[in-house]
Amino acid sequence: MGGVLDMFSGLAFLQELDLSENSLIEGELPTSVGSLCNMNVLKLSVNNMEGEITDFLDGLSRCSNGSSIENLDLGLNQFSGSLPESIAHLSKLRYLQLPNNLFEGPIPESIGNMSALEEINFSGNKMNRIPTGFGQLSALTAAGLSYNVWEGVISEAHFANLSRLRDLDLYKDSPNISLAFNISPGWAPPFKLHLINIRSCNLGPNFPNWLKKQDELVTVVLNNAQISGEIPNWFLELNLQLDKFDVAYNQLSGSPPTSLVFTSSANVALSSNLYEGPLPLWSPNVTQVYLDNNRFSGPIPPDIGDKMPLLTDLDISQNSLTGRIPLSIGNLSTLTSLVISNNYLTGEIPGFWSNIPFLYEFVMSNNSLSGTIPSSIGSLNSLKFFVLSNNNLSGLKVELTDIDNQRYEGKLTVVAKGRQLQYQQTLYLVNSFDLSDNRLSGEIPSGLADLVKLGTLNLSMNGLVGEIPSSIGNLDVLETLDLSRNRLSGPIPPGMTSLTKLNHLDLSYNNLSGKIPTANQFQTFNDPSMYEGNSGLCGVPLTKLCPGDGAPSHPPDANSDENDGDNDEDRLDRLWLFLSTGLGFIIGFWGVCVFVSGGDMESPDS
């Protein structure tokens, strides 16, 4: 409450006030705090404060001998409005921390008069313009300008006197580019950067020539920067010791920069470019490699697990890789995410998974893998995503145990009725079990109900027979169920009406029969297409009457002419929004689930 801060307004000689992370601090910042002219440090971060700060800053600017404040931290609140030009009266201010608020509008032009400023952090706001006066901050060492809505043009004037600048974070909160760099090729900046993190800005069309003398760089991120062509030799000859090199989402081509030298726990991201040729490898220090959505071809290097043994994340999806999965991947004991989908890989899935105990994301969909699914996958106690759809797999013998909720940062691509949806924000993920479009046969095991925290189950486009197990109704957090295009028969189990969180159901093109349940969630499933191709089914929403029924009473048609624009595309967007609902559920087989071609109950590991 604002009264807490008012209590301090009479302490004229107060020099430091730190009330960060205090649940009692809420409301607007009292103007009276601006009268504390002797205060050097004010920290109010991570509270529930709101409103504008103009009156507070004006109060400080009226101090007869000038404000003494050197460190102002108002981050992670709900402060709003524009920063006033009067902020420049804080002539002694060295550290200005305003991240994760609701500030909007331009950075004041007068900021160039704040010659003592060493660090600024405006990240996570809605600010839109960077003035040329910014380039006069000769003491500035770190500029945090990420996650705003920047627009306009950045020129040499914006950096003219930033001789001490070491860290530059500048990117937008969306991939739409409205900020461009207009810097002459021969310009030599006055600074020596350690970190450059520029995203969703136009730096192109060529790799920025003004980095030519930046031989102290440790972190290089030029992501979604409209850069094309090759990375120049002069950059590779800077002999940098990098902990991160991210040039994803550009149009870079030529040879991947394999000569770069990396420090421990390094990250390499070349995703979504035009690189081709064999898959590149780097030094053993690299732990995260993202090479997805390029044109790499040929086999995965057989020694990948030996050359980069400390890998935790490997994404080589959406390329043209061929051949088998190398056995050396089994040496990656710290691997947590393996994504090799959308390639042309063949052969059987190796059985080395017990050597990779921390794997939580396992995505091999859209390849030509064959054989059975090895039982050693059952040892993956951290598994969160298990996606093997669209292969030629014929069997499964897996026992998965319960695990705790995990947080996933990065991107995830899922398939809904053939449409790929990609999510690139931080997500608390629902567990996914996807074996669609394979050659699985036999019955769905009743033990499937032991995946008690499963959020997504997709077994569509296989050869499964028999009835839907009645125990499937025990999956009470299930949100998506797709059993379409199999050979399932019998009734829809009445117990499925217990699936009260279900928001997407597809049972089409089977041999199901009997009356469609109408209780709970089934009352909301008004689209006949989710049941089509089952000639034995009857009842709402189908037009076919069940024996003893009168004329069916249909709910309003959600697909009438006036709603034609709200068909498959929009409906899928709604149905798959569950991925960002923060559920983070668990996959866990307590029993053994077996999908086996030809009834072989003892299929060996591949």
Look at 41-55, 282-296, 485-499, 584-598 and tell me which has the smallest mean pLDDT.
584-598
193-235 pLDDT, tens per residue?
Answer: 999 999 999 999 999 999 999 999 999 999 999 999 999 999 9
Q: With cut-offs at 50, 70 and 90, classify the pLDDT of residue 417.
A: very low
pLDDT given for residue 117 in this prediction: 98
517-528 pLDDT, tens per residue?
Answer: 988 888 888 899
Give ∠ CA 313-315-320 in degrees, rounded to 5.
Answer: 155
290 pLDDT exceeds 50? yes
Which pTM was predicted? 0.78
pLDDT given for residue 456 in this prediction: 86
- Is the pLDDT higher at 420 or at 44? 44
Give me the amino acid identity at 291.
L
pLDDT given for residue 374 in this prediction: 84
Q: With cut-offs at 50, 70 and 90, classify the pLDDT of residue 551.
A: low
Q: What percent of the chain has pLDDT over 70?
A: 83
pLDDT given for residue 421 in this prediction: 38
Q: With cut-offs at 50, 70 and 90, classify the pLDDT of residue 470.
A: confident
573 pLDDT exceeds 80? no
Q: Which two tokens stand for residue 576?
A: 């798959």
426 pLDDT exceeds 90? no
The CA–CA distances, whole Å, from 366 to 372, 437, 441 equal: 16, 9, 19
Q: With cut-offs at 50, 70 and 90, classify the pLDDT of residue 447.
A: low
Q: What percent of the chain has pLDDT over 90?
A: 61
pLDDT given for residue 395 in this prediction: 62
Q: What are the strands, taking DSSP E only, across 270-356?
A: 276-277, 286-290, 295-299, 313-315, 320-323, 337-339, 344-348
Q: With cut-offs at 50, 70 and 90, classify the pLDDT of residue 420.
A: very low
Instruction: Please provide the DSSP assignment of 366-390 as one string.
Output: SSEEEEEEPGGGGG-TT--EEE--S
pLDDT given for residue 332 in this prediction: 97
381 pLDDT exceeds 90? no
Tell me what the mean pLDDT of segment 392-417 comes to: 45
Tell me what the mean pLDDT of segment 162-176 comes to: 92
Quick one: how far is CA 581 from the chain centroid? 13
Tell me what the mean pLDDT of segment 232-246 comes to: 96
Tell me what the mean pLDDT of segment 450-474 comes to: 86
C-alpha 461/C-alpha 393 separation (Å) is 12
- Is the pLDDT higher at 374 or at 339? 339
- Is the pLDDT higher at 580 or at 278? 278
pLDDT given for residue 450 in this prediction: 67
Look at 145-154, 271-280, 415-424, 462-471 and tell me which has the smallest mean pLDDT.
415-424
Please give the class, per CATH, of domain 449-538: alpha beta
C-alpha 451/C-alpha 586 separation (Å) is 8
The residues near 145 (Cβ < 8 Å, ≥ 6 apart) are 120, 122, 123, 130, 168, 169, 170, 171
Look at 255-259, 302-306, 323-327, 424-428 and tell me which has the smallest mean pLDDT.
424-428
Please state the domain extents for the chain. Answer: 1-74, 449-538
3-state secondary structure (DSSP) of residue 573? helix
Q: With cut-offs at 50, 70 and 90, classify the pLDDT of residue 66.
A: confident
CA dihedral defined by 283, 286, 291, 292, rounded to 10 degrees?
150
pLDDT given for residue 317 in this prediction: 97
- Mean per-residue pLDDT of the chain: 83
Look at 97-111, 431-445, 562-576, 588-602 and tell me which has the smallest mean pLDDT.
588-602
Tell me what the mean pLDDT of segment 292-301 comes to: 98
User: Closest Cα partner for 486 from 522, 514, 457?
Assistant: 457
139-160 pLDDT, tens per residue?
Answer: 999 999 999 999 999 999 999 9
603 pLDDT exceeds 80? no
Q: With cut-offs at 50, 70 and 90, classify the pLDDT of residue 67.
A: confident
Tell me what the mean pLDDT of segment 97-109 comes to: 97
C-alpha 89/C-alpha 66 separation (Å) is 7
178-198 pLDDT, tens per residue?
Answer: 999 999 989 999 999 999 999
pLDDT given for residue 121 in this prediction: 98
3-state secondary structure (DSSP) of residue 487? strand
